[in-house]
Amino acid sequence: MNDNAYQNALDYLYSFIDHSLTRNLRYAEEKFDLSRMITLMNILGNPQKDYDVVHIAGTKGKGSTCSMITSILRNQGYRVGFYSSPHMIDFRERIQINRDLISKEEFVGQIEEMKGAIENVQDVSTFEITTALAFKYFSDKKIDIAVIEVGMGGRLDATNVVYPMLSVITSISLDHTNILGDTISKIAGEKAGIIKKSIPVVIGRQVDDAKVVLKRVAAENNSPLIDVMKEYQWKQLDYSLRQQRFSVKRNGNAISKGYDFEVTMSLLGDHQLDNALTAIAAVENLPKKYPVSHDAIQRGLAEAYWPGRFEVIHQDPLIIIDGAHNPDSFEKLSAAIDKFVSAKRPTLIFGASEDKDIAQMISIILPSVDKIIFTKSAHPRAMNEDEIREQILPFYCDDFVFMDIEVLTREILQNTEGVYIASGSIFIAGAVQENIINIKNNETS
């Protein structure tokens, strides 16, 4: 494959409106409006109707839960498409079938086939085109099931043209407040927009304000609601930086005394155990034509992989990357640090997008880290040095250190005794990993 053709296809895709790259983006119906997506899908023949769909929304955990569901279904023998966003390093991470990324050739081919349709939809966005491309690709490849992650919100997200066999809503917390609303209830209302008439909805661990909204919308739509934390529970058996082992119990199961089965999983943290229960609840509440065995659940969760989620990417020094990017996820990151690397308080490598509440994020993480080195990714919405300094200096008493991320990566690799956590944005996590890969490749070339 000529890489120039692939790059040209990417350049064409990015030549359209890309809200993800827009600083200080605010909610407006003309920006987040399903009419363009509906028009585009109609022109393409509505390929999203050619297979069954599991549709997943949520503030945190939706990507990990999608990955787990996909892995379980693949281990059961189904042909599974997986659509997610954003990507960490390679754009093609967003569109996969049975863990295989869409090839560069197929990506170029899909763009070429879609150009006529794309150019007949005014003001279509990059994300809408990408979503349509994934839906068409899955149809062309004749998958059985698509696991579709909502990009942002739910009600007006481009993915919400699907009519799923199951909806899933993972943990809801404050994020993208300038777009989705400044309260949990408002955000839950947007996420609940994926709930469809009479279609079951699985909800993961939720705060009360979110649960009230989700239950109300489910009742209004006559949609059976499965509350994971009422129906299932986990008990951790052991854990390390390589994996964690836990047992699963279905509450109210009269047949089972004690826990039903054990699972070993490489995704770390108590929040991932919650996500695993949500994935189990999802596959166990699919229509009867999609049975899933205990064995498929165990193998699927054992093989589930989701990059940049408390992921160890280097030893000596120990470097962990995590895509936490709001106060709630920093609570979970802090708990994971205390649990998994408590022997030595790490250095935090921190950068964030311009719309984040970094003062609260830093306040949460400070007790769990030794020091913080600030940086920024190349993403257009990345917060710069002056913006970070302005937000945190009123309470941050340590010396403020800001470094170029590539220089910083080279420096920390020299400290073989160090422990580092790179977080604040999936783009920081991805940049550190990509820099390490490039440095290692240059050393061996």
Same domain, 411 and 296: no
What pLDDT was estimated at residue 31?
60
Same domain, 280 and 324: no
CB 439 within 8 A of CB 409: yes
Q: Quote the CA–CA distance of 60 and 170 in Å, as a whole number.
A: 7
List Cα–Cα distances, 108 to 115, 232, 306, in angstroms.
Answer: 11, 44, 25
Total structural domains within the chain: 2
> For residue 242, how many other CB atoms are within 10 A of its CB?
9
CATH number at residue 360: 3.90.190.20
Model confidence at 356, pLDDT cuts 50, 70, 90, reads confident
What pLDDT was estimated at residue 399?
87
Same domain, 265 and 349: no
Domain boundary among 286, 303, 320: 303
Nearest residue to 403 via CA among 374, 434, 429: 374
Mean pLDDT check: name the lowest of 29-38, 151-160, 207-216: 29-38
Same domain, 355 and 227: no
Q: Which amino acid is at 271?
A: H
What pLDDT was estimated at residue 325?
86
What pLDDT was estimated at residue 441?
84
Same domain, 145 and 282: yes
Nearest residue to 372 via CA among 402, 347, 403, 405: 347
The residues with which 382 forms a beta bridge, in sequence order, are 353
Nearest residue to 282 via CA among 57, 93, 99: 57
The tens digit of pLDDT for each residue in 2-26 reads 689 999 999 999 999 876 655 454 4
Same domain, 297 and 333: no
| Backbone torsions φ then ψ of 25, nearest 5 degrees | -70, 135
Same domain, 376 and 286: no
Same domain, 373 and 229: no
Residue spans of beta strands (DSSP E) within 258-368:
261-265, 311-314, 318-321, 347-350
Same domain, 287 and 402: no
Residues in the chain: 445
CATH number at residue 57: 3.40.1190.10
CB 424 within 8 A of CB 324: yes
Tokens of 287: 């229509």
- 10 Å CB burial of residue 316 (0-12, 13-18, 19+) is exposed
Mean of per-residue pLDDT scores for the chain: 91
Same domain, 255 and 364: no
Residue spans of beta strands (DSSP E) within 58-110:
80-83, 95-97, 100-101
Structural domain boundaries, residue 190 = 3-303
The stretch 171-195 carries a mean pLDDT of 82
The tens digit of pLDDT for each residue in 23-34 reads 454 444 556 689
Distance of CA 318 to the CA centre of its chain: 24
Same domain, 325 and 258: no
Domain boundary among 256, 283, 303: 303
**pTM exceeds 0.85:** yes
Same domain, 276 and 157: yes
H or E segment and range at residue 55:
strand 52-57
With tokens 């990566």, the residue in question is: 409
Domain boundary among 303, 333, 366: 303
